[in-house]
Amino acid sequence: MTPLLQVEDLSVRFTTHQGVNDAVKGVSFEVGHGEVLGIVGESASGKSVTAMSIPDLLPTPPAEIIGGRILFDERDVRKMSSLERRQLRGREIGVVFQDPMTALNSVRRVGVQLMEGMRYHLDLDRTEAHRRAVDLLEQVGIPSPAERMKAYPHELSGGMRQRVMIASALACSPKLLIADEPTTALDVTVQAQIVDMVRSITADRDMSVIWITHDLSLLSDFADRTLVMYGGRVMEEAPTATLFRHAEHPYTAGLLASIVDTDTRRDQQLVSIPGTPPIHGAALDGCPFSPRCSYGVEKCPSVHPPLERVGDGHKVACWVRPFASKAPNGG
């Protein structure tokens, strides 16, 4: 079966008065039907830009897709007409942002906003759209959904707004849900509620998910596969369990080691990655992580290593692969 989404060699450039920034450079990946793909990265890793280029949600200018192909359900997104793209966004791809207020209109009632997409894309009448909107609010865990239809976004808590946003993304039963750090601004107990809810709804409907986060731990029991990005490039891609056990890229290994959680030992200094992430994307021709990498060789800063298959579904972009010998599935 062809994957639902195929991204091939995607490059995105931002041109501003401050100069040119290659935010995403040569990124390729796939998302299967019903699969949950996690994209993890720090600031300026290109994770959001990559995801937002799929439903054509990048502001152009300053952004421009300068290369690559995006195939959604075997259709080339970049060759679509603007009408086709609008249908793609509303019907086939649902998007959830970190801040729900970027998508919700603060002066319109929640219910009206929920019904709008369904009436446009699914051609439903008022009564039917209203019924489905109430259903949706209930599914995403909003108490007294019929009354909440009349609420304005500011009358809801952050967690509730994010639930409304998820309801609106799911309204037209999309094939793919793109969630860009939807729980980052929320408390951990609310985050747990929301991850739990999204997991069960998307699994029930066999929906594919791209979940973008800076928190690798969040993906451990959620994502089937995880893509690790840094400085606009893919560093490593693997089934999530493999990534946690046998990360091969020095960046992934460093990121895993620097996670401070309740299993971290108190009597030891924390492992940290020296230096700071690049402010812009791929500024180097070579590996963007090379200035902070302790395993680098001479060609690292000048020649970018290809993303090579090293095991079952496991790909790594590193000339050195210092941790490769530890991996039983390597080579």
Partner 1 sequence: MVGRAVSRRDYEEPLLRVEDLVKHYPSSGGGRRNSQAVRAVDGVSLQVETAETFALVGESGCGKSTLGRLVVRLEEPTSGTVQFMGSDLTNLGRRQLRPHRRDMQVVFQNPHSSLNPRMTVRQIVEEPLVVHDIDDRIGRVDRLLELVGLPPAVADRHAHEFSGGQRQRIGLARALSTEPTFLLLDEPVSALDVSIQAQILNLLVELRDELSLTYFFISHDLGVVRYLADRVAVMYLGRIVELASVFDLFASPAHPYTEALMSAVPSRDPEAGSQRIILKGELPSAASPPSGCRFRTRCPMARPECATDEPELRLVEGDHLVACHFAEEMMEKHR
Instruction: Name the residues that contact partner 1, by CB under 8 A.
Output: 42-43, 143, 157-160, 187-193, 196, 214-218, 220-222, 240-241, 244, 254-256, 258-264, 266, 269-274, 276-277, 279, 292
- Tell me how far, at minimum, the Cβ of 47 lies from partner 1, in Å: 12
> Is 146 or 303 the residue whose CB approaches partner 1 more closely?
146
Residue for token pair 């369990």 = 241
> Is 121 or 233 the residue whose CB approaches partner 1 more closely?
233
> Is 279 or 303 the residue whose CB approaches partner 1 more closely?
279
> Is 134 or 273 the residue whose CB approaches partner 1 more closely?
273
> Is 126 or 265 the residue whose CB approaches partner 1 more closely?
265
Residue for token pair 């963007």 = 288
- Tell me how far, at minimum, the Cβ of 76 lies from partner 1, in Å: 35
> Is 103 or 190 the residue whose CB approaches partner 1 more closely?
190
- Tell me how far, at minimum, the Cβ of 258 lies from partner 1, in Å: 4
Rounded to 5, what percent of the chain is helix, strand, coil? 35, 25, 40
> Is 53 or 162 the residue whose CB approaches partner 1 more closely?
162
> Is 115 or 287 the residue whose CB approaches partner 1 more closely?
287
Sheet (strand 75-76) strand order = 19-31, 5-16, 63-72, 75-76
Name the DSSP letter for residue 135: H
Question: What does the DSSP assignment read for 150-216?
Answer: T--GGGS-HHHHHHHHHHHHHTT--SEEEEESTTTTS-HHHHHHHHHHHHHHHHHTT-EEEEEES-H
- Tell me how far, at minimum, the Cβ of 227 lies from partner 1, in Å: 16
Residue for token pair 């490039």 = 233
- Tell me how far, at minimum, the Cβ of 223 lies from partner 1, in Å: 10
Question: SS3 letters for 59-106?
Answer: CCCCEEEEEEEEEECCEEHHHCCHHHHHHHHHHHEEEECCCHHHCCCC
* Cβ contacts of 287 within 8 Å, gap of 6 or more: 233, 293, 296, 300, 301, 304, 305, 317, 318, 319
Question: SS3 letters for 260-304?
Answer: CCCCCCCCCCCCCCCCCCCCCCCCCCCCCCHHHCCCCCCCCCCCC
- Tell me how far, at minimum, the Cβ of 160 lies from partner 1, in Å: 7
- Tell me how far, at minimum, the Cβ of 158 lies from partner 1, in Å: 8
- Tell me how far, at minimum, the Cβ of 297 lies from partner 1, in Å: 21
